[in-house]
Amino acid sequence: MGHGLEIANNRVGIIDYRLTDANGRVLDSSAGRGAMAYLHGHGNVIPGLEKGLEGKQAGDRFKLVVAPADGYGEKTGPGPQEVPKEAFPANVRLTKGNRFEAEGSDGKKVVLWITKVEAGRVWVDTAHPLAGKTLYFDVEVKEVREANREELEHGHAHGMHGAHH
């Protein structure tokens, strides 16, 4: 165990992580991208991960199993639907995993995820791609620091050293 700052609300946690599904398939990882800095207590990471990180210190390494309810939610809605390419706003990049906002039939904004792009055809879903999945995290805390004033105003971390974006 380390003996530095503990992760708590309004502090920045800097973590390396690997996320796998129940079959050990890697869904996401900080490897190659560098450690991720996030502002604790502001909902910038999924609730299950935020809860698991509470009180941890630099040097702590642990595994975490997160149920869908504490992750990206249960899978709801009709499932992936094909949408004609012409229906997308010009500024939306048609890449699997991208999210964008659209207007629903009731005029309300809905968030849609692109779940499949194949041979010029595009499928979207209202559910997050990881909804309904139990998530297996392997986490290592690299550093914990106080957030600066600007980060607190913005509600998110500004990277490893708090530099402005």
Residues found near Zn ion in the complex (CB under 5 A): 154
Closest CB 148 distance from Zn ion, rounded Å: 10
Closer by beta carbon to Zn ion, 25 or else 164: 164
Closer by beta carbon to Zn ion, 12 or else 58: 12
Rounded CA gap, 25 and 160, in Å?
A: 28
Closer by beta carbon to Zn ion, 51 or else 161: 161
Nearest Cα residue to 67 out of 131, 4, 123, 18: 131
Q: Could you say which DSSP state residue 86 is in?
A: G
Closest CB 160 distance from Zn ion, rounded Å: 14
Closest CB 165 distance from Zn ion, rounded Å: 5
Element (H or E) spanning 48, and its range?
A: helix 47-53
Which positions ≥6 away from 128 have C-beta within 8 Å? 72, 73, 113
Closer by beta carbon to Zn ion, 142 or else 154: 154
3-state secondary structure of 65: strand
Amino acid letter, residue 165:
H
Closest CB 130 distance from Zn ion, rounded Å: 25
8 A C-beta contact, residue 160 and residue 24 = no
Closer by beta carbon to Zn ion, 127 or else 147: 147
Alpha-carbon torsion (13, 17, 22, 28), positive or negative: positive
Closest CB 43 distance from Zn ion, rounded Å: 15
